[in-house]
């Protein structure tokens, strides 16, 4: 289908800086074919009026666990270990394949409603999430959460599940990573097996690293080094890696991340809520480490709203550094778009430009938080709540229009999620 988004303010990357420009955006099939004044020869099948609207590249959430969204607000105000091992893990053990599908669908609804078009997921049931992503029309990069010791059966089965999904999935909007969970749930031998498998299949990894004091202290005690140093020694960084959290880092850790081209997916709200601390994002950014933003799961955040996450990222690092210039709206918008496309080795997403995949979020800016229109870039990071998102286009397909998601029966998803939580938490 040919779509013309007519006369709309758009966030365009020019010389590595976002600027807001008035333009027409022409979409043909899956691609943006022109940005600027539309040619007379472009005959659209459908026109979206850009009046009082702002088009931005679809946001990219680089760390979440979509199936966990019905654990939202079920285990709050607890320590990290009480939260994970005392409350979340026992509930997870009761989940069926179908439950995880509905949890992932709820996540997709929330992400689409708040302008996210692509997400990186670590899950416990690949089929369930593949189905949810396919039914919702989103773009996703999926990994099976891998937990294992050496070559034990459980670890092997999970790795096979990750690989099977990679080889069998036919949805071109889904790509894959391998997802070793963390240094405290995967031993070094298993990490080596996973890394070798990634090399063999030309896949990257995503892993939680240096998230909590407990993790760092335990690795220090056992191996006399930091989790980041351990990963380098184990060879994990020999393949492309997206490392979630990276809250507790030494200067040497940051150098290791930089020289191995590891992307850090920061999750500020999850780290604050679980009282794990604040990642040294400014240092990472200044040292040239590719930094992106993730929400983590709705069980530890408790939203999957990238606008909220962008706001926290900017505010938090200004505050802790006592310097309001360290993290600009532009820096944060890039983390949620082009830096993420770099992390995913997918140069076709993250920007509104000719030749790119048509992943576009359109906001209704006829709202008080966007008035007066002094600086729309600032408004996106400092004023928006996320629910201004009105229309979402993914891979050239209109997934949401006038705030109505066209691909999902949202009421059915809400109902199923309420039933599941009643059953497993009784």
User: For Ni ion, which is the closer residue by CB, 62 or 114?
Assistant: 62
Segment contacting Ni ion (CB under 5 A): 107-115, 183-191, 277-285, 296-304?
296-304
Distance CA 263, CA 114 (A): 24
Segment contacting Ni ion (CB under 5 A): 91-99, 197-205, 295-303, 418-426?
295-303
- What tokens were used for 351? 């920007």
Closest contact distance (angstroms) between CB of 65 and Ni ion is 6
Closest contact distance (angstroms) between CB of 296 and Ni ion is 5
User: For Ni ion, which is the closer residue by CB, 95 or 393?
Assistant: 95
Query: Is residue 309 a contact point for Ni ion (CB under 5 A)?
Result: no
- Give me the numbers of helices (H) and strands (E) for the chain, helices first please: 16, 17
User: For Ni ion, which is the closer residue by CB, 215 or 296?
Assistant: 296
* Dihedral of alpha carbons 317, 318, 322, 326, sign: positive
What distance lies between CA 115 and its chain's CA centroid?
Answer: 12
Segment contacting Ni ion (CB under 5 A): 158-166, 167-175, 181-189, 291-299?
291-299
User: For Ni ion, which is the closer residue by CB, 212 or 290?
Assistant: 212
Segment contacting Ni ion (CB under 5 A): 49-57, 230-238, 293-301, 400-408?
293-301
What region does 387 belong to: left with phi over 0, alpha with psi -120 to 50, or beta?
alpha
Segment contacting Ni ion (CB under 5 A): 290-298, 365-373, 375-383, 385-393?
290-298
User: For Ni ion, which is the closer residue by CB, 296 or 331?
Assistant: 296
Segment contacting Ni ion (CB under 5 A): 83-91, 151-159, 292-300, 324-332?
292-300
Q: Which residue is nearest to Ni ion (CB)?
A: 296
Q: What are phi and psi of 119, to 5 degrees?
A: -140, 150
Closest contact distance (angstroms) between CB of 148 and Ni ion is 17
Closest contact distance (angstroms) between CB of 149 and Ni ion is 21
For residue 168, give Cα distances in angstroms to 132, 175, 294.
16, 11, 27
Distance CA 376, CA 382 (A): 10
Distance CA 411, CA 409 (A): 6
User: For Ni ion, which is the closer residue by CB, 121 or 232?
Assistant: 121
User: For Ni ion, which is the closer residue by CB, 61 or 395?
Assistant: 61
User: For Ni ion, which is the closer residue by CB, 296 or 416?
Assistant: 296
Query: Is residue 211 a contact point for Ni ion (CB under 5 A)?
Result: no
Segment contacting Ni ion (CB under 5 A): 30-38, 42-50, 294-302, 353-361?
294-302
Query: Is residue 296 a contact point for Ni ion (CB under 5 A)?
Result: yes
Closest contact distance (angstroms) between CB of 182 and Ni ion is 9
Closest contact distance (angstroms) between CB of 236 and Ni ion is 17
User: For Ni ion, which is the closer residue by CB, 304 or 392?
Assistant: 304
Q: Which helix (H) or strand (E) holds 175?
A: strand 174-180
Q: Cβ(162)–Cβ(178) under 8 Å?
A: yes
Q: Cβ(58)–Cβ(17) under 8 Å?
A: no
The Cβ-side half-sphere exposure at 385, using a 13 Å CA radius, reads: 5
User: For Ni ion, which is the closer residue by CB, 110 or 296?
Assistant: 296
Closest contact distance (angstroms) between CB of 414 and Ni ion is 24
| Structure letter (DSSP) for residue 70 | G
Who's near 331: CB < 8 A, 6+ residues apart? 285, 314
Question: What secondary structure does DSSP assign to 268-328, as a single string?
Answer: HHHHHHTT-----HHHHHHTT--EEE----TTSSS---HHHHHHHHHHHHHHHHT-TTSS-
- What tokens were used for 93? 């053990």
Contacts with Ni ion by CB under 5 A: the residue count is 1
Residues at the site binding Ni ion, with contacts judged by CB under 5 A: 296
């Amino acid at each position: 289908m040919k779509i013309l988004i007519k006369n709309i303010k758009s966030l365009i990357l020019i010389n590595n800086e976002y600027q807001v420009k008035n333009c027409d955006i022409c979409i043909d099939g899956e691609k943006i074919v022109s940005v600027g004044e539309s040619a007379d020869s472009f005959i659209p099948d459908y026109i979206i009026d850009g009046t009082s609207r702002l088009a931005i590249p679809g946001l990219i959430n680089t760390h979440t666990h979509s199936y966990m969204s019905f654990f939202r607000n079920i285990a709050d105000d607890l320590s990290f270990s009480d939260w994970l091992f005392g409350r979340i893990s026992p509930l997870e053990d009761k989940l069926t394949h179908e439950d995880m599908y509905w949890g992932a669908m709820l996540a997709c609804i929330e992400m689409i409603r708040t302008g996210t078009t692509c997400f990186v997921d670590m899950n416990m049931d690949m089929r369930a999430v593949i189905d949810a992503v396919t039914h919702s029309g989103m773009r996703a990069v999926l990994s099976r959460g891998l937990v294992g010791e050496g070559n034990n059966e459980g670890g092997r089965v999970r790795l096979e599940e990750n690989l099977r999904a990679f080889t069998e999935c036919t949805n071109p909007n889904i790509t894959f990573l391998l997802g070793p969970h963390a240094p405290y749930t995967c031993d070094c031998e298993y990490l080596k097996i996973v890394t070798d498998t990634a090399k063999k299949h030309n896949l990257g990894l995503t892993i939680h690293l240096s998230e909590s004091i407990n993790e760092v202290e335990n690795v220090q005690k056992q191996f006399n080094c930091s989790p980041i140093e351990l990963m380098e020694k184990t060879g994990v960084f020999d393949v492309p890696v997206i490392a979630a959290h990276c809250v507790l880092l030494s200067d040497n850790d940051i150098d290791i991340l930089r020289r191995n081209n590891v992307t850090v997916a920061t999750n500020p709200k999850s780290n604050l809520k679980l009282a794990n601390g604040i990642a040294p994002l400014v240092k990472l950014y200044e040292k040239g480490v590719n930094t992106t933003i993730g929400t983590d799961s709705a069980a530890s955040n408790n939203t999957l709203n990238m606008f909220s996450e962008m706001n926290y990222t900017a505010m938090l690092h200004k505050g802790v550094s006592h310097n309001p210039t360290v993290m600009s709206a532009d820096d944060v918008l890039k983390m949620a778009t082009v830096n993420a496309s770099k992390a995913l080795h997918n140069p076709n997403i993250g920007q509104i430009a000719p030749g790119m995949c048509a992943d576009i979020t359109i906001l209704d800016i006829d709202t008080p938080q966007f008035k007066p229109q002094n600086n729309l870039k600032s408004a996106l990071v400092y004023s928006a709540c996320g629910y201004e998102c009105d229309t979402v286009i993914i891979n050239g397909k209109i997934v949401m229009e006038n705030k109505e998601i066209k691909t999902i029966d949202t009421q059915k998803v809400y109902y199923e999620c309420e039933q599941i939580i009643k059953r497993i938490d009784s």
